Structures are given as structure tokens and as C-alpha cells.
């Protein structure tokens, strides 16, 4: 695994609608492999060798969950809103980075120390709207001089690290893992296939950028290259999330209890056959809780056969997540198999 690239992708900041840094990285990887690239009106990065009628489209969303500056008080403390589905409990005392016109500003999410908490405060649920960011300013003017403005996006300052023999942790693995896989598919990409880094997946029930791009390209089929919830750790019962790290990508048959993509049966059958024939490990997933870009593409125009192939990832939609390199490899191999046969 190319850990240098994975680290760069994980540590790049790209809260939904501000995916520029990730788009730049990804476009550079595509061009290195001789592909043509373009960035469309919606911020999606498209890469292809050549494009004809009804191409095959593979999309990985580039955006990550994060925060946005809502208000700066007289003392220079910042209130924020959440962008995307974040568990409020994971926010307390995180180190964060605010992207401003003056560059990156360091901050921490503050909280009341336990020494001075009342019993009921200690037991109360954490709510994002009760939290604030401290940027080390003494008043509002100083915060503004640092460059902080209403509307700045905020990311978690999580370092990328390798763990154990084959695992790694970092921020935004949902879905920089998918971006990484697309970069690996660029080499020897067949004609009439579009690789696409999509924008704004995390801020809608379903992806926004994938929808606009599929409307334009009218693909004959769409594959969402994404991540999914792995439940192979304490405090999750096997029946709640029966997807495991190291056992291969999850082929999603149904998302969000059917409100998301219901995988095209022909496409699902073909994907499974390709995995079996190439002896690539895979898992089948039926998911009640979340959806992918496939949810926003499958019912565009007169319908586009769509499927999501997802890398199992622990602790997604928090400030840090964990994945396994064998799954990244298996996902890449499965998609390569699909490219060859479609």
C-alpha cells in the first residue's frame, strides 16, 4: 500500500463544498497516470482516457464531515455548526484546524473541567451547540486578525498513523479510502470509463455532486467507491453491523433500508461473480442506517444501474477511524476486475 499517498489524502482538509485541496491531490494522481482531468461546476473531479456515449462511472466522494464557524463572541470564542452526521460526544476537547483566508488557524474545542461540574452536568448528554472553539485569541478582534470569519470550515487535527501489522488510523478515511482506490485504478484505465471524485456527499441524505455529474454524463452504470461501518469491535453486537476488517469489501445490496440505493440485481450478481472468479474476498451488506453516492445516481433520468462497493472502516463519522490494508487491496482488485469485464 502506498502509505505516503494515503496519509496525504487523509490529512488534506475538505469539508463538504470545500473539497479543493483533495481535488487537487486527486487530479495530480490521475494526470500522473496519463488521464485527462477536469473539475466541473459542482467541484467534482472527472478523469478519463477518453469519453464516449454512456460511459461507466466510478465515484468516490472527496468531502469529509466537519464544522463551520457560526459566531465569534466578544472574548474571541467561536460557536459552530456541524457539517454532516457527527456524533456530538466525539467533539469534546478535540484539536481542530480552521481553514481561513489567512491559512490554517489552530484551535481546540473547550469544555468545563470535571472538578467544577455538578453531578447532573457530568451525566448530561454532550450537545454540539453547547461547545465552542478556543483559538487562543483574547477578544473578537484578535480572532478576526487571525483570519477567522463566519463560514470558515473546521476539520479535526488527526494525524495519520499506522497501527499493528496491517491497519492504520486517520481522519476522513470515509472517504479518502475511496479516493485512494480511484487513484490506483487510474493506471491502464480503459476507454469510456470516468473516475470521479465527487463533492458534497456528506451533507445530503444522498450525494449531491454525484447526482449532477450523472445527469450530465448519463452513464450506463455507476459504482460508488466508499466505506462502510465495521462492527468488529467491543460494544457492537454481530447482528448490528456484521462487517469485519480484513474480510474484503462490502458489496451493498441495499442502503438506508431501501431509501438509498437498492443495488441493481444484474449488476450485483455480476460483481459477486467477478469477485469469486478472481478469488477476491468480499462481504455482502444490507444496510439500514446510511447510504452512498449510488443512492443519488440510481434514479437519475430513466434510471442508472448502480452499486456501492465499500471498504469496512471502524468508527466512521467521528474524528478518527481505522481501516485494514488488505481490504483496500481487495477493493482495488475487485474494481479492476469489473473494469475489465464491463
Active site residues per annotation: 201
At 122, phi and psi to the nearest 5?
A: -65, -35
CB of 250 to Zn ion, least distance (A): 12
174 touches Zn ion (CB under 5 A): yes
Beta strands of the chain (E only): which ranges?
36-39, 45-48, 56-61, 66-72, 78-83, 95-100, 103-110, 132-134, 153-156, 161-163, 167-170, 193-198, 221-229, 250-254, 283-286, 306-313, 321-324
255 touches Zn ion (CB under 5 A): no
Closest CA to 93 of 337, 304, 319: 319
10 touches Zn ion (CB under 5 A): no
Q: Which is nearer to Zn ion, 100 or 228 (CB)?
A: 228
Residue with cell 470564542: 77
Looking only at residues 125 through 154 of this chain, which bind Zn ion when binding is defined by CB under 5 A? none
CB of 236 to Zn ion, least distance (A): 19
CB of 315 to Zn ion, least distance (A): 13
CA distance 277 to 154: 44
321 touches Zn ion (CB under 5 A): no
Q: Pairing state of beta strands 306-313 and 221-229?
A: parallel
How many residues at the interface with Zn ion, by CB under 5 A? 3
Question: Are 271 and 309 contacting, i.e. CB atoms less than 8 angstroms apart?
Answer: yes
CB of 174 to Zn ion, least distance (A): 4
Q: Which is nearer to Zn ion, 143 or 294 (CB)?
A: 294
175, 199, 212, 214: which one binds Zn ion (CB under 5 A): 175
Q: Using CB under 5 A, which of the segments 94-102, 169-177, 205-213, 274-282 binds Zn ion?
A: 169-177
Residue with cell 453486537: 237
Residue with cell 491531490: 25
Q: How many other C-beta atoms can be found within 10 angstroms of the C-beta atom of residue 340?
A: 11
64 touches Zn ion (CB under 5 A): no
Q: Which is nearer to Zn ion, 174 or 264 (CB)?
A: 174
CB of 175 to Zn ion, least distance (A): 4
11 touches Zn ion (CB under 5 A): no
Site string for Zn ion, 197-236 (x = CB under 5 A): -----------------------------x----------
Q: Which is nearer to Zn ion, 175 or 306 (CB)?
A: 175
Question: Are 230 and 244 contacting, i.e. CB atoms less than 8 angstroms apart?
Answer: yes
63 touches Zn ion (CB under 5 A): no
Question: Are 180 and 8 contacting, i.e. CB atoms less than 8 angstroms apart?
Answer: no
CA distance 208 to 190: 26
Q: Which is nearer to Zn ion, 78 or 294 (CB)?
A: 294
331 touches Zn ion (CB under 5 A): no
Instruction: Verify cis geometry, omega within 30 degrees of 0, for the bond prior to 121.
Output: no
CA distance 240 to 244: 12
CB of 196 to Zn ion, least distance (A): 14
Q: Using CB under 5 A, which of the segments 8-16, 111-119, 140-148, 166-174 binds Zn ion?
A: 166-174
Q: Which is nearer to Zn ion, 100 or 296 (CB)?
A: 296
Q: How many other C-beta atoms can be found within 10 angstroms of the C-beta atom of residue 151?
A: 9
Q: Which residues bind Zn ion (CB under 5 A)?
A: 174-175, 226
Amino acid at each position: 500500500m502506498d502509505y505516503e499517498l494515503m496519509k496525504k489524502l487523509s490529512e488534506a482538509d475538505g469539508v463538504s463544498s470545500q473539497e479543493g485541496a483533495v481535488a487537487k491531490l486527486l487530479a495530480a494522481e490521475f494526470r500522473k497516470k496519463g488521464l485527462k482531468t477536469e473539475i466541473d461546476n459542482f467541484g467534482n473531479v472527472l478523469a478519463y482516457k477518453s469519453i464516449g456515449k454512456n460511459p461507466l462511472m466510478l465515484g468516490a466522494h472527496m468531502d469529509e464531515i466537519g464544522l463551520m464557524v457560526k459566531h465569534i463572541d466578544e472574548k474571541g470564542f467561536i460557536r459552530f455548526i456541524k457539517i454532516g452526521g457527527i456524533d456530538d460526544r466525539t467533539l469534546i476537547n478535540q484539536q481542530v484546524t480552521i481553514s481561513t483566508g489567512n491559512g490554517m488557524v489552530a484551535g481546540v474545542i473547550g469544555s468545563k473541567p470535571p472538578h467544577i461540574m455538578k453531578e447532573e452536568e457530568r451525566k448530561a448528554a454532550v450537545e454540539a451547540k453547547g461547545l465552542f472553539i478556543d483559538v487562543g485569541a483574547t477578544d473578537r478582534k484578535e480572532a478576526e486578525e487571525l483570519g477567522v470569519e463566519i463560514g470558515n470550515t473546521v476539520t479535526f487535527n488527526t494525524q495519520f498513523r499506522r497501527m499493528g501489522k496491517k491497519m492504520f488510523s486517520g481522519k476522513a478515511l470515509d472517504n479518502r479510502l475511496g479516493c485512494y482506490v480511484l487513484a490506483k485504478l487510474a493506471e491502464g484505465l480503459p476507454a469510456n470509463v470516468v473516475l470521479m471524485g465527487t463533492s458534497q456527499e456528506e451533507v445530503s441524505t444522498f450525494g449531491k455532486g454525484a447526482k449532477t455529474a450523472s445527469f450530465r454524463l448519463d452513464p450506463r452504470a455507476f459504482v460508488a467507491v466508499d466505506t462502510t461501518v465495521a462492527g468488529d469491535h467491543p460494544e457492537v453486537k454481530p447482528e448490528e453491523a456484521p462487517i469485519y476488517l480484513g474480510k474484503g469489501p462490502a458489496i451493498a445490496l441495499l442502503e438506508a433500508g431501501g431509501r438509498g440505493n437498492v443495488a441493481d440485481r444484474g449488476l450485483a450478481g455480476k460483481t459477486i461473480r467477478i469477485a469469486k472468479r478472481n478469488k477476491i474476498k468480499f462481504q455482502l451488506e444490507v444496510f439500514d442506517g446510511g447510504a452512498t453516492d449510488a443512492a443519488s445516481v440510481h434514479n437519475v433520468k430513466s434510471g442508472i444501474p448502480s452499486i456501492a462497493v465499500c471498504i469496512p472502516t471502524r468508527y466512521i463519522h467521528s474524528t478518527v477511524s481505522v481501516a485494514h490494508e488488505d481490504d483496500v487491496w481487495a477493493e482495488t482488485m475487485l474494481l479492476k476486475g469489473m473494469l475489465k469485464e464491463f
